A and B are shown apart, each in its own frame.
Chain A
């Protein structure tokens, strides 16, 4: 089955700096890679996703890149703000149904003012 590894587990940056979180996956057939943000006391919320037919996707200060050959994908946040502080999860399809995602262990991002 699919296995997703996420690094780093914690990341601290100064406001205005960039943050990069990396994930690797094991199943070369995986074709969908979402990123979720979880704030304290809340459920995860999708912030961006990418399908395997594209190599990069951007949405304002957030971008995701995908390298299918190396089986890794990354989240890039530019011009970080204190409200970006949260736990970020990458994921890949677990198979069998739409709702089955295999999540990475998460990255706790702290943005210092």
Chain B
């Protein structure tokens, strides 16, 4: 079974630009979560989508947004990029067959550098 696939793996942007990152979950997984990983703040929850609906959102500004498509693939967008947005953006999927918390399956991430 293929794992979680994230594209692009690496990208460089300049301040003020916007970026879109893509995530394809494991086949059959309906829940997709996004995390930002930085050396200073660690892993921080951005948002979670299930059945094309945002289920939960972390404490990030409105510049960070996402969506999920009918095939469970998800995208996240960051507008008006700031230097502090440089980070590894991780996508995680889960089958969401149990309402209790369970294993998240992470992709390898998209490393964003903002110059």
Contact = CB atoms under 8 A, between A and B. Distances in A.
Nearest to A99: B33
A105 B42 contact: yes
Most buried by B among A32, A36, A43, A51: A43
Contacts of A45: 106
A106 B104 contact: no
Nearest to B100: A32
Majority secondary structure of chain B interface residues (helix, strand, loop or mixed): strand
Nearest to B103: A46
Interface in A10-65: 31-32, 34, 36, 41-46, 49, 51
Interface residues of A, number: 26
Interface in B54-86: 55-56, 58
Given A97-B33, A98-B100, A99-B104, 4 more contacts: A44-B43, A96-B56, A98-B102, A99-B33
Interface of B: 4, 31-33, 42-45, 48, 50, 55-56, 58, 90, 92, 94, 96, 98-109
Interface of A: 31-32, 34, 36, 41-46, 49, 51, 89, 93-94, 96-106
23 contacts: A31-B101, A36-B106, A43-B109, A44-B43, A44-B104, A44-B106, A45-B106, A51-B100, A89-B42, A89-B43, A94-B45, A94-B58, A97-B50, A98-B98, A98-B102, A99-B31, A99-B33, A99-B45, A99-B94, A100-B33, A103-B42, A105-B42, A106-B42
